[in-house]
Amino acid sequence: DQQVKQNSPSLSVQEGRISILNCDYTNSMFDYFLWYKKYPAEGPTFLISISSIKDKNEDGRFTVFLNKSAKHLSLHIVPSQPGDSAVYFCAALEPDNNDMRFGAGTRLTVKP
């Protein structure tokens, strides 16, 4: 039962351009969403989050957009840098529930 879906296993963009990573969810009870970044042989690290009461959250080069009616969120990275090359996981939480559900991840490659 995949409640959080990342349908693009990989994405390649040119340095300086925008990277857009997408995530869809099926559970309408989710009210908090997070993006994690993972380098090889390391654990995921928190990147940015958004509550369901918002539709946008920005932190430097990273912006997360939430479309509740479409059950869709996206992560925008602009401008993309080679150091952004990693696997990005979308995750979601229900209210009063602490165990996160993750998507399958999208491998981003930023080419110099």
Residues that bind other proteins in the complex, under the rule CB under 8 A: 6, 32, 34, 36, 41-46, 49, 89, 93, 96-105
Which residues partner with 38 through β-bridges?
87
Cβ atoms of residues 65 and 55 within 8 Å: yes
Minimum Å distance from CB 55 to other proteins? 20
CB-nearer residue toward other proteins: 46 or 58: 46
What is the tally of helices (H) and strands (E) in the chain? Answer: 0, 11
Whole-number Å distance between alpha carbons of 61 and 34:
16
Residue whose CB is less far from other proteins, 20 or 48: 48
CB 105, min distance to other proteins, A: 5
For other proteins, give the closer residue by CB, 46 or 81.
Answer: 46
